[in-house]
């Protein structure tokens, strides 16, 4: 069917002066509609003519530069009081007379819908052509409890029963994005035929710029990125990678976030899904390449430890920006940024960001406050992450029972991760002053009440530091032992790899710290000198390529 797309665009605008020619995210507002209309002809090969009806010389120049026909709108059709109906009627008559044709379909596309996608318009045209409609309108469904005014000036409800919004009947609001109609329905006083249907579009695509708030909203939508996290979470490697990715995902509000994880990341996938994010299960790198082809993310975040050159060369073919975490592999140099917050030093590649200033602490630790220092160590915390692959929790459970015999007033608090496999054997024993808590939702509230902790050498050490809790550290493995933040310089006693440290050493270290408040006070002082409040801001800037460094050298 021969189709005419008319884009009406006046030069004047009261609420936002000259809005159709103002630059939005790098180009004049009207260009978004022009590009959508032209794409239907040039990319989708549809039989479409495109014209802009305007009274403004500057607008006309912008349109001509894009190879689109300009219709000079008469002055009497360019006032505030004139509706679009006579404007479209004039434009159709002008184009038919000039080109000596008769159109089958006329589409009105507003210049003020920059978030509308070409694929959506194409689908709407196909919907129109496949049904016996006279007119199809773009609309978005917004059910709300609403009120009106009757003829007596009284407020009256527009509903029968108060229900939650998801239970209310549909309430379609026209968006102005497009109006598709048969040529014979286009008259000077109207464009809508008798058989009308709605083509529902998403709320993001439905924005019609009328106010400055609309403008700001559109800019945010147009700047939105599709960000994919590739991560791993299983008992052999723990849950630190998943927790970090989730922390960042919560901070990337306004962007589209999707996860990909190896199919054997059973506990990681469970946690991601419980957090209400979509996760794609992948078998291998070849499978992941197909995911990248299908999903087309703008940014890829690899939180999978070391990458290879071959892997990075593959992903950079599909994604413009790639960020890696804790990567000391041969592929690191191919990333746009490598963030190694758990390491204080490295090879210092041009793209590498080291140190605790890039640690992304969870919001709960920014809201919680450390308790006052206690001369007596009355509460000791034991926690070894979400999975504890070395089962250090089990060892400390026995050690704490031993410690209770000589320290009967000390309480031992165990926090078990949701993926800890031996939770059935670690239970509260009030006779030993041992208290066990499983998969707690707010770890900071427990940490803030503690005098001493025993933990592994991952992200937990930063969280303990933020709460000023002196800690003894036992690494899960050799790689974790390289995370040098957990040293005496930052308020920690590091006993090395847990499997290589005997119980007697752990017991004597705990008892020594319990009996030396001056040492614990100094450790606490060193911890609280660290400021973790800006870490996530620095990392988000790096992810989004907005990385103006604000405060000099790494810590």
DSSP for 206-238 reads: T----SHHHHHHHHHHHT--EEEEEE--BTTTB
CB 52 within 8 A of CB 30: yes
Going by pLDDT thresholds of 50, 70 and 90, the confidence category of residue 15 is confident
Please report the pLDDT score of residue 191 as a whole number. Answer: 97
CB 466 within 8 A of CB 454: no
% of the chain at pLDDT higher than 90: 86
DSSP for 305-370 reads: S---HHHHHHHTTT-SEEEEES--STTGGGSSEEEETT-S-----TTEEESGGG----HHHHH--P
CB 304 within 8 A of CB 241: yes
Please report the pLDDT score of residue 552 as a whole number. Answer: 44
β 226-231/196-200 pair status: unpaired
* CA distances for 196 relative to 84, 129, 173, 477, angstroms: 18, 13, 14, 67
In our burial notation (b when 16+ CB lie closer than 10 A, e otherwise), range 216-246 reads eebeebeeebebbbbbbbbbebbbbbbbbbb
Please report the pLDDT score of residue 554 as a whole number. Answer: 44
Q: Which residue has the higher pLDDT, 12 or 292?
A: 292
The vertex-476 CA angle with 471 and 477, nearest 5°, equals 130
* pLDDT, averaged across the chain: 93
Long-range contacts of 508-514, Cβ-Cβ distance < 8 Å, separation of 24 or more? 509/472, 510/380, 510/399, 510/403, 510/452, 510/454, 510/472, 511/403, 511/406, 511/407, 513/377, 513/452, 513/470, 513/472, 514/377, 514/380, 514/407, 514/410, 514/452
Q: Is 202 helix (H, G, I), strand (E, B) or coil?
A: coil
State which H helix or E strand residue 489 sits in: none
CATH architecture of 224-361: 3-Layer(aba) Sandwich (3.40)
Nearest of 149, 539, 181 to residue 356 by alpha carbon: 539
Report the alpha-carbon distance of residue 494 to residue 481 in Å, rounded: 9
Q: What is the 3-state secondary structure (H, E, C) of 398-432?
A: HHHHHHHHHCCCCEEEEEECCCCCCHHHCCCEHHH
Q: Per-domain residue ranges for the chain? A: 3-151+168-206, 224-361, 368-528
Give the orientation angle of helix 57-65 with respect to helix 29-42, to 10 degrees. Answer: 30
Please name every residue paired with 5 in a beta bridge, in sequence order, or none if there are none.
50, 107
The stretch 287-305 carries a mean pLDDT of 97
Q: List all residues 6 or more positions away from 172 whose beta carbon is below 8 Å from its beta carbon.
A: 139, 140, 141, 142, 198, 200
The vertex-232 CA angle with 485 and 413, nearest 5°, equals 55
The stretch 372-393 carries a mean pLDDT of 94
Q: List all residues 6 or more positions away from 225 whose beta carbon is below 8 Å from its beta carbon.
A: 255, 256, 297, 298, 299, 544
- The reply to whether domains 224-361 and 368-528 share a CATH topology is yes
pTM of the model: 0.79
% of the chain at pLDDT higher than 70: 97
CB 551 within 8 A of CB 518: no
Going by pLDDT thresholds of 50, 70 and 90, the confidence category of residue 308 is very high
The stretch 115-123 carries a mean pLDDT of 97
Residue 486: both structure tokens together: 């957990």
Report the alpha-carbon distance of residue 138 to residue 129 in Å, rounded: 15
Please name every residue paired with 140 in a beta bridge, in sequence order, or none if there are none.
173
Please name every residue paired with 182 in a beta bridge, in sequence order, or none if there are none.
105
Can you say whether the dihedral through the CA atoms of 351, 355, 356, 357 is positive or negative? negative
pLDDT digits (tens, 9 = 90+) for 182-215: 999 999 999 999 999 999 999 999 999 999 999 9
Q: 3-151+168-206 in CATH: which number?
A: 3.90.550.10
The least confident of 90-94, 330-334, 547-551 is 547-551
Please report the pLDDT score of residue 482 as a whole number. Answer: 85
Q: List all residues 6 or more positions away from 248 whose beta carbon is below 8 Å from its beta carbon.
A: 229, 301, 360, 536, 539, 540, 543
pLDDT digits (tens, 9 = 90+) for 146-180: 999 999 999 999 988 999 988 888 999 999 899 99
Please report the pLDDT score of residue 553 as a whole number. Answer: 42
DSSP for 435-473 reads: EEEES-S-HHHHHTT-SEEEE-SSTHHHHHHHTT--EEE
The answer on pLDDT for 486 being more than 70 is yes
β 23-24/3-8 pair status: unpaired
Going by pLDDT thresholds of 50, 70 and 90, the confidence category of residue 550 is very low
The answer on pLDDT for 279 being more than 90 is yes
Residue 424: both structure tokens together: 């059935």
Going by pLDDT thresholds of 50, 70 and 90, the confidence category of residue 12 is confident
Residue 60: both structure tokens together: 């006309």
Please report the pLDDT score of residue 345 as a whole number. Answer: 64
Residue 464: both structure tokens together: 């303990």
pLDDT digits (tens, 9 = 90+) for 344-357: 665 555 788 988 89
The DSSP symbol for 190 reads B
pLDDT digits (tens, 9 = 90+) for 52-73: 999 999 999 999 999 999 999 9
User: Domain 368-528's class?
Assistant: alpha beta
Please report the pLDDT score of residue 173 as a whole number. Answer: 94
């Amino acid at each position: 069917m021969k189709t005419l797309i008319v884009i009406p665009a006046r030069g004047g605008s009261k609420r936002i002066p000259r809005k159709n020619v103002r630059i939005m995210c790098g180009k004049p507002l009207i260009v978004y509609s022009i590009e959508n209309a032209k794409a239907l002809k040039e990319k989708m090969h549809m039989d479409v003519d495109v014209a802009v009806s305007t009274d403004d010389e500057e607008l006309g120049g912008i349109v001509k530069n894009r190879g689109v026909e300009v219709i000079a709108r008469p002055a009497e059709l360019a006032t505030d009081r004139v509706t679009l109906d006579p404007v479209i009627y004039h434009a159709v008559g002008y184009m038919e007379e000039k080109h000596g044709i008769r159109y089958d379909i006329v589409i009105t596309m507003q210049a003020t819908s920059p978030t509308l996608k070409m694929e959506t318009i194409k689908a709407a045209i196909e919907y129109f052509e496949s049904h016996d409609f006279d007119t199809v309108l773009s609309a978005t469904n917004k059910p709300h409890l609403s009120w009106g005014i009757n003829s007596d000036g009284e407020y009256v409800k527009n509903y029968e029963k108060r229900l939650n919004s998801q239970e209310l009947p549909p309430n379609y609001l026209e968006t102005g994005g497009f109006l598709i109609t048969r040529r014979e329905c286009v008259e000077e006083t109207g464009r809508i035929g008798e058989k009308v249907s709605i083509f529902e579009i998403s709320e993001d695509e439905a924005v019609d710029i009328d106010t400055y708030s609309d403008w700001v909203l559109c800019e945010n939508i147009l700047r939105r990125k599709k960000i994919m996290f590739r991560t791993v979470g299983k008992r052999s490697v723990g849950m630190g990678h998943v927790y970090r990715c989730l922390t960042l995902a919560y901070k990337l509000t306004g962007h589209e976030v999707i996860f990909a994880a190896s199919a054997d990341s059973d506990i990681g996938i469970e946690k991601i899904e419980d957090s209400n994010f979509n996760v794609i299960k992948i078998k291998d790198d070849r499978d992941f390449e197909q995911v990248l082809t299908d999903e087309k993310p703008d940014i890829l975040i690899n939180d999978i430890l070391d990458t290879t050159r071959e892997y990075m060369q593959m992903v950079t073919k599909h994604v413009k920006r790639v960020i890696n975490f804790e990567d000391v592999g041969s592929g690191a140099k191919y990333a746009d940024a490598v963030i190694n917050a758990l390491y204080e030093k490295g090879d210092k590649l041009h793209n590498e960001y080291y140190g605790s200033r890039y640690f992304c602490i969870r919001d709960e630790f920014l809201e919680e406050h450390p308790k006052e220092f206690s001369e007596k160590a009355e509460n000791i915390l034991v926690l070894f992450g979400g999975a504890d692959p070395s089962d250090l929790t089990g060892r400390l459970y026995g050690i704490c029972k031993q410690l209770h015999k000589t320290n009967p007033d000390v309480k031992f608090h165990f926090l078990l991760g949701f993926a800890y496999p031996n939770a059935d054997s670690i239970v509260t024993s009030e006779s030993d002053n041992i208290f066990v808590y499983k998969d707690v939702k707010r770890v900071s509230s427990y940490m803030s009440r503690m005098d001493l902790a025993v933990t592994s050498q991952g992200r937990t050490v930063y969280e303990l530091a933020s709460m000023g809790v002196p800690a003894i550290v036992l690494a899960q493995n050799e790689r974790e032992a390289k995370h040098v933040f957990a040293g005496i310089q930052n308020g920690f006693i590091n006993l090395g790899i847990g499997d290589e440290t005997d119980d007697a050493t752990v017991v004597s270290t705990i008892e020594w710290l319990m009996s030396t408040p001056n040492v614990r006070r100094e450790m606490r002082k060193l911890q609280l000198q660290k400021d973790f409040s800006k870490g996530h801001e620095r990392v988000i800037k790096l992810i989004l390529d907005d990385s103006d460094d604000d405060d000099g050298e790494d810590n």
